[in-house]
Amino acid sequence: MERAHIYLDYAATTPLDPQVVRAMQPYFETEFGNPSSVHRWGQRAEAAVERARQEIAGLLRCQPDEIIFTSGGTESDNLALRGVAYHARAELGRNHILTTPVEHHAVLATAQDLAARHGFELELLPVDRHGRVHPDDLATRIRPETAIVSIIYANNEIGTINDLPSLGRVCRQHGVPFHTDAVQAASQLPIEVHQLQVDLMSIGGHKFYGPKGVGALYVRQGLKLYPVQTGGAQEGGRRAGTHNVPFIVGMAEALKLTTQSRDEHNAQYQVLRDILLAEIPARIPQALITGHPTERLPNHASFALRGVEANRLLAALDLAGFACSSGSACKTGNPEPSQVLLALGYSPEWAMGSLRITVGRPTKHEDIEALIRQLPDIVQRVREAEAAIP
């Protein structure tokens, strides 16, 4: 009998909701027009894109023309940072970028590239041992030359949630655009932009049971940014390229369904998450919870395991039938300590053993019980194998 496989990596991606598939289907088949075309096929496709824009804007409590459709969260982050930074330097003489050392690579690598190749000054804000930015630290480092501040809403690796309204108020007081990467957060946290006090916010469809390859960027009305992708006049000239109509329709449907059922699913997730947070450190020696103990995503449990190389652990878990993740450089053949855990002050010996377990809509109690039952032996075998390596 084939071993049952249990997926516990919902922070990486989620399956398509069946209702989302149904919403997308016509735009693969009969309603296949290009939204930029004048004829009726194009007009119907354009109408679908604009309905999706209105739907997403309603969920974010913003205006439809404040939504830019992109190919995903990574492009949204790139457009936010590059677009605002280029405009701020050219028009306002601002050359300073503030972000954190625990951002997703889509933000951090973009900021580093702007510094290394385009002459921007990059400053990394301090974070506490849970990965949070404190408003006072932001207030002491923001300055008239700051082009943009980018702080993640909920950390993808350790699940910690930042207090965006407090951080946003600091940015508003100084007249500096505030961007947040909400790609991981949008599946479980409030996303009303004015409540969050953000000027730009990135989301990606596949994190909330929508399609891969589509995302959106909220840009507050009146905020200027230079386009990064040039060509046609789509998205008000801010992002060129033919609209991916079925995916845009699917993302809007997925976000609507997620928002409607958020409280119900979060309650289910939190029960399972709390079992993991309680049981794994109790059953496995030298295992620590990473991230904030309470201000964290409801579906997210993360740990540092001393003396464990994460890639080997993930491979062993996969062989045992469990799909989990880590913060290390997986699949590269050159494992490295988690940069997030290093930034939080963990030693490389601990940071090599980053383990992330994230639950989703299909996850059952028995799935969590099975993992908790088998994980201690799996970790012990990996530790023994590593100890035996000369």
326's tokens = 């880590």
Asked if 264 and 67 touch (Cβ cutoff 8 Å), the reply is no
The band of 35, judged by pLDDT with boundaries at 50, 70 and 90, is very high
Residue labelled with tokens 């989302």:
20
CA gap 149, 167 in Å, rounded: 10
Q: Mind listing the domains of the chain with CATH numbers?
A: 6-14+262-387 (3.90.1150.10), 18-257 (3.40.640.10)
CA distances from 355 to 158, 201, 364 (A): 9, 27, 20
| Helix 73-92, helix 105-118: angle, nearest 10 | 30
Q: Find, among 245, 250, 313, 342, the residue nearest to 19 by Cα.
A: 250
**φ, ψ dihedrals at 226, nearest 5°:** -85, 140
CA distances from 276 to 13, 107, 270, 298, 346 (A): 20, 29, 10, 12, 21
Dihedral sign computed on CA atoms, order 75, 80, 85, 88: positive
What pLDDT is attached to residue 333? 53
> How far, in whole angstroms, is CA 372 from its chain's centroid?
26
Looking at 1-15, 30-44, 341-355, which range is the least confident one? 1-15
What pLDDT is attached to residue 279? 98
Q: Find, among 140, 258, 267, the residue nearest to 206 by Cα.
A: 258
Q: What is the pLDDT of residues 41-95, one digit of tens each?
A: 999 999 999 999 999 999 999 999 999 999 999 999 999 999 999 999 999 999 9
Active site residues: 330
The band of 364, judged by pLDDT with boundaries at 50, 70 and 90, is very high
What pLDDT is attached to residue 329? 43
Instruction: Count Cα neighbours of 305 within 13 Å in the Cβ-side half-sphere.
Output: 28
Q: What is the pLDDT of residues 288-317, one digit of tens each?
A: 999 999 999 999 999 999 999 999 999 999
